[in-house]
């Protein structure tokens, strides 16, 4: 052999790879890397004398025949390549049949076909094995460079197998796609593995190799494999992160194998570890793993695929029927459901009942066998019993580790279904074994002398008991299990984030010399926002407001997002907390701690990610709670910091609270007689021209051209002892509050441009809205002739805007006290319809009805018609509470629904007592709303008027009343306003 060919041969010898069972093969990459064009040309030149032919042959080998040439070169038959070219049989025709190879090279053909070509054609593991079961030639060599048995059962053996990374495409076809779709594929990556004296790049997979028991025929074995493969294929379309993904399956000689990603261990091995594995050092990871496992089992029980997402329309019901620790795999982050050998997916009409197959006794459900251990017909409920058993052992491990597992199992070892047969099952033929109840008591810290229960123990024990129910009809079903675990999982991830954020705020407050107050308040603001989001789902229930909230069930997608947000938030917060921890140990002097402003931005962005998941209804509910908690303060300094959120506000959530904080701070300044910083609102009387009366108010012009509405505030004799300057200062604060209200369209309060002194009064000026020139009141529209009733949807929109206005006013502690239809004003174009007129209501009368304070004395209206809007109790106590505004609003909503003034009704009973009037209105007229406006509207009006929102005096009671009002009225009308009628 000449030099070029000898060099190539030597390179091949060095690059050949040995399988675990001592077969040599040459990987595809070896041929590609060694047989470059120049190397082929040099080798061909040594046996082809004609330079022209030499070039053509070399080019043909490079393009189409490198594998064929390598086989021949390895056997010193390289000169035969010309015959293969002449027969047009090159790499594309491999592997060759014996007869064809003998026809091309008679002396070498048999050896070529039966032996040598297979060393150069090792099997390649690719994604097609997922789609189609592979039948592999007997001669093919598998590129398995390492193999180890890691588990064995009745029907097969599981082998940890290392695959030559160059002979597979799984890492790209599966892992990359999985990452893009959010699927979790554990350890499916190229790693370096020491094999013999060499470090080889491999991909580790698990190979389930099926046995052929003597009692089983090949046909029955193949049916069993086909069933498991079918389950795995259909479930694999879900790309569920907690269901083991099948990488492929094949038949090879007398073996049948299914391939999976390699996972570190199963749950049985996990429960024996003295140290917690991976992320399971955190209790919250157990909740995530159980939640994901329940979700996986729910998909097995009810599989639904659609063409848009999964490429196929398919609905099946199924069962696992071998749910036990050995068949649950554990990665560093979660649990994965595996081993579907006894599973089945059936058409929905077939039902899920089937005869119980042999399984381990520990998690066996009561209905699986009778007293003589004969198998019974069972359904999916046996999976739920097994899940309850697993939860019991998981919570045991969380609390007591592997020693607790050993002790628990030993305590259960007693007679089971049959009184003379002992096992570790949970059932003794009558019910749960006494040892199980006793163990649960221990986990719960009972009796009191024992160690107190961990915070998670009660939840998991209760969950386990809901599944360990003998009556299958009463046993917890999988959909409900998922909902319970969604909640527990979400809470387990939320609370560490909340606690870390609270801890950072406390650390910052303790180091005020080295930090500023505003960053602390901004973080507190975001903390309240996170709590408000959580309150929608009931994840935080101990707070004053949140425990009474009507919660929404949190869904799986929201739980997963919360898990990711919590993980990122905890990582970021821990970096900041570490600064304070290190500062505590600095003995010489306290180091100055600079606040990293990026922390706030990151926290805000992460919480915003959660808010984006909310439906519009839930977003409104969260906004209400966030606003209520943020503004529940009498500290003006805190309100000023909230007001400063406005310049950096990126959406209405921040802008709304910022504006409300500004208004409330002005209110508090007024209550405390704090001076205003400016006098811009006091206008020159000469700049205002009064043109006409509008009820007790006026219409005029400002500076000769701007049309204005003037609301007149009359004050009583108690103000006469107050100096002119003090009166002006108070009115300045009122005007500033009404000026700020324009920042909140939902308040429906006109923007104040200033005030003027009048005789025993002040006049507050509001410019007419653009393109309007005629003011009118709701009361006037209700009395108008001819009577034109607006459309149902228009009246609902009007009602919703008024409800939102009152809710906003109350959020800043501002009671109206004089709410009536004469204080609902519309600014419209002359000649417009009633429909157009009521699209944009404004609420006035607030200058008469501000806070309950001795420093605020104003005369109320003398119009007798307004008495109908007052709650009967107010006339007795003269102490106003927030729910009295709700009563007045209820009367207005009644008027809107019936499109009739309350005065036209009560005028029939001129001598009736207020309580009697209220009773008659509710018994007769409010009930009419059900047929005219619908049950939801009727319920909202009833809630305003029937006393359920009354709560007494004080901040706590007022806040409770506001929350009830939002739930029973505000939320209801908001949903109605968004619905197509």
Q: Kindly indicate the confidence band of residue 616, based on its pLDDT and cuts at 50, 70 and 90.
A: confident
507 and 445 within one domain: no
| Residue 500: closest CA among 562, 559, 574, 598 | 574
**Encoded tokens for 214:** 């003597």
Q: How many residues does the chain have?
A: 981
Rounded Cα distance, 379 and 361, in Å: 17
Element counts in the chain: helices (H) and strands (E): 38, 27
Residues contacting residue 580 through CB under 8 Å, at least 6 positions apart: 504, 507, 508, 511, 593
Query: Tokens 């309100």 identify what position?
Result: 639
Does residue 712 lie within any of the structural domains? no
CATH code assigned at 370: 1.10.510.10
Between 22 and 639, whose confidence is greater? 22
Percent of the chain at pLDDT exceeding 90:
47
pLDDT at residue 223 tops 50: yes
Which of 314-328, 633-647, 848-862 comes out lowest in average pLDDT? 848-862
- Check pLDDT > 70 for residue 453: no
Q: What is the DSSP letter of 979?
A: S
Mean pLDDT for 878-906 is 90
Residue 714 lies in a domain: no
Highest mean pLDDT among 37-51, 577-591, 596-610: 37-51
Q: Where does 864-916 show beta strands of DSSP type E?
A: none
Q: Is the pLDDT of residue 954 over 70?
A: no
Q: Which residues contact 107 (CB under 8 A, 6 or more apart)?
A: none
Q: What residues form DSSP beta bridges with 763?
A: 712, 756
Mean pLDDT of the chain: 84
Q: Decide if pLDDT at 14 tops 80.
A: yes
Residue 644 lies inside a defined structural domain of this protein: no
E-strand stretches of 79-189: 134-136, 144-152, 156-164
Summarised one tens digit per residue, pLDDT across range 301-328 is 999 999 988 889 999 999 999 999 999 9
- For 142, 164, 253, the CA distances from 139, given in Å and listed in that order, are 10, 18, 9
pLDDT at residue 577, rounded to an integer: 87
Reported confidence tier of residue 419, pLDDT bands at 50, 70, 90: confident
What would the two tokens of residue 941 be?
Answer: 């009006």
With beta carbons less than 8 A apart as the criterion, state whether 967 and 549 touch.
yes
d(CA 204, CA 259): 10
Q: Are strands 248-252 and 134-136 parallel, antiparallel or unpaired?
A: parallel
What 3-state class would DSSP assign to 47? coil
Do 77 and 214 fall into the same domain?
Answer: no
Return the sign of the alpha-carbon dihedral for residues 85, 89, 95, 97: negative
Looking at 119, 146, 161, which one is the last position of a domain?
Answer: 119
Q: Determine, yes or no, domain membership for 269.
A: no
Q: How many CB atoms lie within 10 A of CB 359?
A: 19
User: Average pLDDT, stretch 752-766?
Assistant: 85
Least-confidence region, from 368-377, 469-478, 589-598: 589-598
Using one digit for the tens of pLDDT, what is the confidence trace for 526-551?
A: 898 899 899 889 888 645 444 455 67
Among 425, 444, 476, give the residue marking a domain's end.
476
| Reported confidence tier of residue 464, pLDDT bands at 50, 70, 90 | very high
The answer on 299 and 197 residing in a single domain is no
Angle at 330 between CA 289 and CA 457, to 5 degrees: 40
Asked if the structure places residue 81 within a domain, the reply is yes
Report the pLDDT averaged over residues 850-876: 60
Tokens of residue 477, six digits: 């079903």
Strands 761-767 and 344-347: unpaired
- The 10 Å CB-count burial string (b at 16+, else e) for 900-923 is bbbbebbeeeeeeebeebbebbbe
Q: Are residues 254 and 311 in the same domain?
A: no
pLDDT-based confidence at residue 855 (cuts at 50, 70, 90): very low
Q: How far is residue 384 from each of residues 409, 477, 482, 495, 843, measured CA to CA in Å?
A: 19, 7, 11, 28, 58
What is the average per-residue pLDDT within 615-641?
Answer: 75
* Average of per-residue pLDDT across 921-931: 92
Which of 28-32, 288-292, 350-354, 855-859 bottoms out in mean pLDDT, i.e. has the lowest?
855-859
In contact, 403 and 393? CB cutoff 8 Å: no
113, 198: one domain: no
Contact 630, 525 (CB under 8 A): yes
Give the model's pLDDT for residue 620.
Answer: 82
Whether residues 293 and 356 share a domain: the answer is yes
Give the C-alpha separation, 312 to 299, whole Å: 16
Q: Which of 429, 460, 476 is the last residue of a domain?
A: 476
Residue 649, domain member (yes or no): no
Residue 392 pLDDT: 97
Q: What is the pLDDT, as a whole number, of residue 865?
A: 57
Q: 870 and 818, same structural domain?
A: yes
What pLDDT shows up at residue 368? Answer: 86
Q: Is it the case that residue 603 has pLDDT exceeding 70?
A: yes
Any domain includes 710: no
pLDDT at 18: 93
Provide the number of structural domains found in the chain. 5
Give the integer Cα–Cα distance in Å for 172 and 178.
9
Which residues, other chains included, contact 593 with Cβ-Cβ below 8 Å and sequence gap of 6+?
511, 514, 515, 579, 580, 583
Establish if 401 belongs to a structural domain: yes
Confidence of residue 860 (pLDDT cuts 50, 70, 90): very low
DSSP element (H, E) containing 44? helix 37-45
Distance between CA atoms of residues 338 and 341, nearest Å:
9
pLDDT, tens digit (0-9, with 9 covering 90-100), for 62-80: 999 999 999 999 999 999 9
Residue 626 pLDDT grade (very low, low, confident, very high; cuts 50, 70, 90):
confident
Confidence of residue 590 (pLDDT cuts 50, 70, 90): very low
- Between 41-55, 610-624, 883-897, 934-948, the lowest mean confidence (pLDDT) is in 610-624
Q: Which residues of 764-795 are buried (b: 16+ CB within 10 A; e: fewer)?
A: bbbebbeebeebbbbbbbbeeeeeeebeeebb
Maximum average pLDDT range among 74-78, 428-432, 881-885: 74-78
pLDDT for 854: 42
Residues 54, 158, single domain; the answer is no
If one compares 345 and 646, the residue with the highest pLDDT of the two is 345
The pLDDT value recorded for residue 8 is 94
Residues 110 and 140 in one domain: no
Residue at token pair 């390598």: 70
> Residue 617 pLDDT > 80, yes or no?
yes
Res 146: pLDDT: 94
Nearest CA-CA partner of 122 in 251, 249, 17, 250: 17
Same domain? For 500 and 619 the reply is: yes
Global pTM value: 0.80
**Which pLDDT score, from 0 to 100, does residue 430 have?**
86
Using 50, 70 and 90 to split pLDDT, how confident is the model at 675?
Answer: low
228 and 109 both lie in a single domain? no
- Tell me: pLDDT of 572 over 50: yes
Q: Residue 17's beta-bridge partner residues? A: 25
Q: Look at residue 561 in the predicted model and tell me its pLDDT.
A: 93
**What is the spatial order of strands in the sheet that 328-330 belongs to?**
265-266, 328-330, 335-337
Q: Is residue 158 classed as helix, strand or coil in its secondary structure? A: strand
Domain carrying residue 252 = 128-262
Same-domain status, 415 and 332: yes
Angle, CA of 347, 350 and 356, to the nearest 5°: 110
- How many degrees, rounded to 5, is the angle at CA 387 between CA 384 and CA 388? 90
How would residue 180 be classed by pLDDT, with cut points 50, 70 and 90?
very low
3-state secondary structure of 351: coil
* pLDDT recorded at residue 813: 73
Q: Using an 8 Å Cβ cutoff, are 627 and 966 in contact?
A: no
pLDDT reported for residue 513: 54
Least confident among 169-178, 339-348, 935-944: 169-178
pLDDT exceeding 70 applies to what percent of the chain?
82
Given this model, what pLDDT does residue 671 score? Answer: 59
CATH code where residue 244 lies:
3.30.200.20
First to last CA, the chain: 91
Does the pLDDT value for residue 705 go beyond 70? yes
d(CA 614, CA 612): 6
Instruction: Write out the two tokens for 329.
Output: 């795999």
Q: C-alpha distances in angstroms, 564 versus 411, 446, 494, 571? A: 39, 36, 11, 11
Show contacts of 945-949: CB within 8 Å, 24+ apart. 945/887, 945/890, 945/891, 945/894, 945/918, 945/921, 946/922, 947/883, 949/883, 949/886
């Amino acid at each position: 052999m000449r030099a070029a060919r000898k060099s190539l041969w030597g390179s091949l010898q060095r690059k050949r790879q040995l399988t675990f069972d001592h077969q040599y093969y040459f990987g595809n990459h070896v041929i590609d890397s060694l047989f470059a064009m120049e190397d082929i040309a040099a080798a061909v030149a040594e046996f082809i004398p004609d330079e022209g032919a030499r070039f053509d042959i070399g080019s043909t080998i490079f393009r189409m025949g490198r594998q064929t040439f390598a086989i021949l070169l390895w056997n010193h038959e390289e000169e035969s390549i010309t015959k293969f070219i002449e027969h047009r049989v090159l790499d594309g025709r491999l592997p060759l049949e014996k007869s064809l190879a003998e026809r091309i090279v008679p002396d070498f053909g048999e050896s070529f076909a039966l032996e040598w070509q297979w060393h150069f054609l090792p099997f390649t593991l690719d994604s097609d094995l997922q789609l189609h079961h592979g039948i592999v030639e007997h001669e093919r060599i598998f590129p398995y460079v390492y193999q180890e048995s890691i588990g064995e059962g009745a029907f097969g053996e599981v082998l940890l197998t290392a695959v030559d990374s160059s002979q597979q495409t799984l890492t790209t076809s599966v892992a990359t796609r999985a990452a893009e779709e959010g699927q979790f594929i554990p350890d499916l990556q190229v790693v370096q593995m020491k094999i013999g004296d060499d470090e080889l790049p491999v991909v580790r997979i698990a190979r389930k190799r099926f046995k052929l028991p003597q009692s089983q025929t090949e046909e029955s074995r193949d049916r069993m494999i086909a069933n498991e493969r079918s389950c795995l294929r259909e479930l694999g379309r879900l790309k569920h992160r907690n269901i083991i993904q099948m990488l492929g399956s094949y038949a090879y000689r007398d073996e049948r194998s299914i391939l999976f990603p390699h996972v570190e261990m199963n749950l049985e091995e996990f429960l024996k570890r003295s140290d917690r594995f991976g992320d399971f050092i955190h209790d919250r990871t157990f909740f995530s793993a159980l939640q994901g496992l329940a979700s996986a089992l729910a998909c097995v029980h009810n599989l639904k695929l659609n063409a848009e997402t999964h490429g196929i329309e398919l609905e099946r019901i199924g069962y696992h029927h071998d749910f036990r620790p050995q068949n649950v795999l554990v990665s560093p982050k979660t649990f994965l459901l595996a081993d579907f050998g006894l599973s089945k997916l059936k058409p929905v009409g077939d039902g899920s009942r089937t005869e119980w197959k042999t399984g381990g006794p520990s998690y066996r459900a009561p209905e699986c066998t009778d007293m003589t251990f004969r198998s019974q017909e069972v359904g999916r409920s046996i999976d739920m019993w097994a899940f309850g058993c697993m939860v019991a052992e998981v919570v045991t491990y969380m609390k007591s580790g592997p020693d607790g597992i050993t002790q628990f199992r030993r305590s259960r070892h007693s007679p089971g279904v049959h009184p003379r047969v002992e096992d570790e099952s949970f059932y003794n033929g009558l019910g749960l074994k006494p040892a199980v109840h006793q163990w649960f008591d221990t986990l719960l810290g009972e009796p009191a002398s024992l160690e107190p229960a961990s915070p998670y123990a009660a939840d998991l024990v209760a969950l386990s008991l809901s599944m360990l129910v003998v009556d299958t009809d009463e046993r917890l079903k999988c959909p409900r299990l998922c909902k319970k675990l969604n909640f527990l999982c979400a809470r387990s991830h939320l609370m560490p984030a909340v606690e870390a954020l609270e801890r950072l705020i406390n650390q910052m407050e303790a180091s005020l010399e080295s930090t500023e107050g505003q960053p602390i308040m901004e973080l507190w603001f975001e903390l309240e926002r996170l709590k408000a989001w959580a309150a929608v789902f009931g994840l935080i229930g101990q707070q004053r407001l949140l425990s009474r909230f009507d919660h929404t069930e949190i869904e799986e997608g929201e739980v997963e997002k919360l898990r990711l947000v919590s993980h990122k938030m905890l990582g970021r917060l821990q970096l900041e907390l570490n600064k304070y921890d290190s500062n505590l140990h600095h003995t010489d002097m306290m180091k100055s701690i600079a606040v990293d402003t990026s922390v706030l931005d990151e926290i805000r962005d992460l919480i915003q990610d959660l808010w984006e998941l909310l439906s519009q209804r839930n977003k409104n509910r969260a906004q209400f709670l966030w606003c209520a908690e943020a503004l529940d303060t009498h500290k003006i300094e805190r309100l000023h910091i909230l007001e400063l959120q406005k310049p950096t506000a990126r959406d209405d959530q921040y802008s709304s609270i910022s504006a409300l904080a500004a208004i409330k701070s002005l209110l508090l300044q007024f209550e405390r007689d704090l001076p205003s910083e400016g006098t811009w609102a006091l206008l020159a009387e000469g700049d205002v021209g009064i043109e006409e009366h509008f009820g007790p108010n006026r219409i005029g012009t400002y500076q000769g051209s701007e049309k204005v509405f003037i609301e007149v505030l009359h004050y009583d004799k108690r103000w006469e002892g107050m100096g002119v300057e003090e009166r002006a200062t108070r009115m300045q604060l009122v005007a500033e509050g009404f000026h700020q209200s324009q920042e909140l369209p939902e308040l429906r309060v006109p923007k104040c441009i200033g005030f003027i002194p009048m005789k025993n009064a002040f006049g507050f000026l509001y410019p007419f809205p653009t393109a309007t020139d005629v003011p009118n009141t709701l009361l006037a529209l209700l009395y108008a002739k001819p009577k034109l009733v607006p459309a149902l949807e228009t009246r609902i929109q009007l009602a919703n805007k008024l409800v939102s206005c009152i809710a906003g006013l109350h959020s800043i502690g501002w009671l109206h006290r004089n709410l009536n239809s004469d204080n609902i004003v519309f600014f419209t174009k002359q000649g417009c319809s009633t429909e157009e007129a009521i699209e944009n209501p404004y609420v006035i009368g607030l200058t008469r009805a501000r806070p309950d304070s001795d420093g605020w004395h104003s005369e109320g209206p003398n119009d007798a018609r307004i008495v109908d809007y007052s709650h009967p109790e107010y006339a007795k106590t003269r102490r106003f509470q927030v729910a009295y505004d709700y009563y007045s609003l209820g009367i207005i909503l009644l008027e809107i629904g019936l499109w009739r003034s309350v005065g036209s009704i009560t005028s029939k009973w001129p001598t009736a007592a207020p309580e009697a009037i209220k009773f008659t209105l509710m018994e007769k007229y409010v009930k009419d709303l059900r047929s005219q406006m619908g049950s939801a509207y009727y319920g909202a009006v009833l809630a305003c008027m029937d006393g359920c929102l009354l709560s007494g005096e004080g901040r706590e009671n007022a806040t409770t009343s506001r929350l009830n009002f939002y739930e029973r009225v505000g939320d209801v009308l908001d949903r109605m306003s968004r619905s197509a009628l």
